[in-house]
């Protein structure tokens, strides 16, 4: 196919998509809107812009002339928001340090990302001090001490964050540059190997911001993401740019309430004071809001919450809906900036009165965000039928996907094999293009040409009254490729045989809810299920033991 391209006037300006454009008009339409940090700080967007300029001058004064990595190690704060802008807007790369990793992993990411300067909350100074002897690129540390004196440390301290900003000019000329310049980087951890660095360009983040804004604004609910919303993130900023929402909030110039170190009391106090209308978090945090005794009388009925990071459990969705929360699931991952899908509820869906139907719609992995080309495919990259039953891997194209893993060429090729980013998640798709995640691809059981979700099987077996806990994995099988294997922990005092478990599954087979091939031939009983350090079922260990035995 041919296309036509035309010459440009010599003066015609090729407008690059840069993060500075997200900040540009934030202070114009509603100049009184505030950025709030706990009960300590509150300032306007005009002040945010000045502080971003001050930060840029501080970075320049440290000899950073662009193209270098500046890390932030902090709780969700106004400082972090300033870093979201000031670091990439000076051509540098923001590394958002995941301080929940092990100290060895944190060290690995700091060295691998080639951090030159680290802006850290004083709480993390002991950790950095401990790691310092092994730093390979770090030259200077900026400490946010929040009014406390900076503790003794052998690290090279450039200064205290507020003091450095106060001493710098609030004017900085942010030049235009190539929209393909890298703006951010951070690390994702799998069950094996070292953390892997993903990276996002200015263009990618701008397009992600526009598309996410559009997806959430287009829904006609009072508390959706419009320009009179109040935004309170409850996901760490280091977690995939807090899902990109701080950029959306800044583009809209809406009030932002940043909770700092997560403490239920402070968070609830901020909630009651500022009445946020939109937040996002993992299920556990929402559980705190609907389950915490102190939150019992808090009005949650003007609050929209987007749940990600883990599947939204039905029970939590129900509890939230009963409190009036407008709750929906979203889906994405570190490699994808992160947004890929959100559960969609149109005007008619919202009017549905049946609670279980509301839950069913809201916990779906959801419909693709605009400009996400999402497919569910079999092992030969053919689309599976959109029957909401046939499983396949989710593969995607979109303008905001990491183009590789930093300095990991083999893993990068693996990620992008066949021209699509492979999510490693297995899902079904319905006729309206909405997907439902079934499993991780490494855990799905491929038996006789069919895919069986290990998570579904665990859920079904778990409903047997004698079963306390269960893990299902696939084991190699000469004839069928793989066969499901179940490791079962019984409730104390229960006597259950493998045959009882199979009998418990038979009605599901009869009703067509699972295929007869999904019933495990092999069921073993154990005292405990092997778990990873973060408490997830350690399927790798289970498979390893089986292979050895």
Q: Does residue 7 belong to the site contacting a second copy (CB under 8 A)?
A: yes
Residue 37 or 400 having the CB closest to a second copy: 400
Q: Does residue 371 belong to the site contacting a second copy (CB under 8 A)?
A: yes
Candidate list 17, 119, 230, 426; residue touching a second copy; CB under 8 A: 17
Candidate list 132, 217, 298, 490; residue touching a second copy; CB under 8 A: 217
Q: Rounded to the nearest whole angstrom, what is the least distance from the CB of residue 299 to a second copy in the complex?
A: 19
| CB-based contact 501:486 (threshold 8 Å) | yes
Q: Rounded to the nearest whole angstrom, what is the least distance from the CB of residue 226 to a second copy in the complex?
A: 4
Whether 265 is catalytic is: no
Supply 361's token pair. 């719609």
Whether 188 is catalytic is: yes
Whether 304 is catalytic is: no
Whether 400 is catalytic is: no
Round to whole Å and give the CA distance between 236 and 291: 21
Supply 353's token pair. 């009165």
Residue 220 or 299 having the CB closest to a second copy: 220
Candidate list 5, 297, 479, 511; residue touching a second copy; CB under 8 A: 5
Round to whole Å and give the CA distance between 400 and 525: 45
Round to whole Å and give the CA distance between 179 and 205: 10
Q: Mask 430-459, x = binds a second copy (CB under 8 A)? A: --xx--------------------------
Supply 147's token pair. 């009014």
Q: Does residue 227 belong to the site contacting a second copy (CB under 8 A)?
A: yes
Total of chain residues touching a second copy, rule CB under 8 A: 78
Q: Mask 259-288, x = binds a second copy (CB under 8 A)? A: ------------------------------
Q: Does residue 8 belong to the site contacting a second copy (CB under 8 A)?
A: yes
Question: Which SS3 state, helix, strand or coil, does residue 306 take?
Answer: strand
Tell me whether the omega of the peptide bond preceding residue 388 falls within 30 degrees of 0, making it cis.
Answer: no
Round to whole Å and give the CA distance between 326 and 276: 12
Q: In the window 176-215, what residues touch a second copy (CB under 8 A)?
A: 177-178, 180-182, 199, 207, 210-211, 213-214
| H or E segment and range at residue 462 | helix 454-462
Q: Mask 341-370, x = binds a second copy (CB under 8 A)? A: ---x-xx-------------------xx-x
Catalytic residue among 129, 188, 390, 541: 188
| H or E segment and range at residue 56 | helix 45-61
Q: What does 235-285 look like in DSSP terms, one character per residue?
A: S-TTTTGGGGHHHHHHHHT-EEEE-BS--HHHHHHHHHHH--SEEEE-HHH
| CB-based contact 500:466 (threshold 8 Å) | yes
Q: Does residue 530 belong to the site contacting a second copy (CB under 8 A)?
A: no
The residues annotated as belonging to the active site are 188, 335, 446, 451
């Amino acid at each position: 196919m041919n296309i036509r391209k035309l010459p440009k006037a010599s003066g015609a300006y090729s407008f690059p998509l840069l993060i500075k454009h997200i900040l540009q008009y934030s202070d114009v339409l509603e100049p009184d809107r505030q950025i709030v940090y706990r009960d300590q700080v509150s300032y306007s967007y005009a002040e945010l812009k000045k502080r971003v300029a001050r930060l840029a001058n501080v970075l320049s004064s440290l000899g950073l002339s662009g193209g270098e990595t500046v890390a932030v190690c902090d709780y969700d704060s106004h400082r972090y928001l300033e870093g979201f802008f000031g670091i990439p807007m000076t051509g540098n790369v923001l590394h958002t340090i995941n301080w929940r990793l092990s100290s060895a992993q944190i060290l690995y990411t700091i060295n691998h990302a080639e951090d030159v300067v680290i802006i850290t909350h004083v709480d993390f100074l002991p950790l950095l001090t401990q790691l310092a002897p092994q730093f390979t690129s770090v030259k200077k540390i900026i400490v946010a001490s929040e009014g406390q004196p900076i503790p003794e440390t052998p690290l090279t301290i450039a200064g205290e964050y507020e003091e450095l900003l106060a001493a710098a000019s609030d004017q900085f000329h942010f030049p235009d540059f190539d929209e393909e310049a890298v703006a951010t980087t951070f690390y994702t951890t799998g069950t094996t190997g070292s953390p892997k660095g993903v990276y996002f360009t200015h263009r990618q983040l701008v397009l992600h911001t526009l598309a996410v804004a559009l997806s959430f604004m287009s829904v006609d609910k009072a508390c959706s993401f419009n320009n009179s919303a109040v935004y309170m993130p409850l996901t760490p900023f280091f977690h995939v740019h807090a899902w990109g929402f701080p950029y959306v909030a800044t583009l809209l110039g809406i009030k932002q309430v940043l909770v700092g170190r997560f403490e239920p009391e402070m968070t609830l106090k901020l909630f009651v004071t500022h009445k946020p209308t939109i937040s996002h978090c993992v299920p556990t945090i929402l559980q705190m809001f609907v389950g915490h005794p102190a939150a019992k009388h808090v009005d949650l009925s003007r609050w929209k919450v987007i749940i990600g990071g883990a599947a939204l459990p039905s029970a939590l969705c129900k509890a939230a809906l009963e409190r009036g929360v407008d709750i929906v699931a979203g889906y994405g991952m570190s490699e994808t900036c992160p947004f890929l899908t959100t559960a969609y509820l149109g005007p008619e869906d919202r009017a549905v009165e049946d609670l279980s139907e509301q839950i069913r719609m809201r916990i779906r992995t959801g419909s693709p965000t605009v400009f996400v080309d999402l497919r569910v495919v079999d092992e030969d990259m053919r689309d599976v039928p959109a029957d909401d039953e046939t499983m396949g891997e989710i593969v995607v194209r979109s303008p905001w996907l990491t183009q590789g893993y930093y300095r990991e060429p083999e893993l990068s090729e693996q990620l992008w094999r066949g021209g699509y980013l492979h999510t490693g998640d297995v899902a079904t798709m319905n006729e309206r293009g909405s997907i439902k995640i079934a499993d991780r691809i490494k855990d799905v059981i491929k038996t006789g040409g069919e895919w069986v979700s290990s998570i579904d099987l665990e859920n079904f077996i778990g409903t047997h009254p004698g079963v306390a806990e269960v893990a299902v994995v696939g084991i190699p099988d000469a004839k069928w490729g793989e066969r499901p294997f179940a490791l079962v922990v019984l409730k104390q005092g229960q006597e259950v045989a493998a045959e009882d478990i199979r009998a418990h599954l038979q009605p599901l087979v009869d009703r067509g809810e699972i295929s007869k091939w999904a019933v495990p031939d092999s069921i073993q009983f154990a005292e405990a299920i092997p778990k990873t350090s973060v408490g997830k079922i350690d399927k790798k260990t289970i498979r390893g033991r089986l292979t050895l035995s």
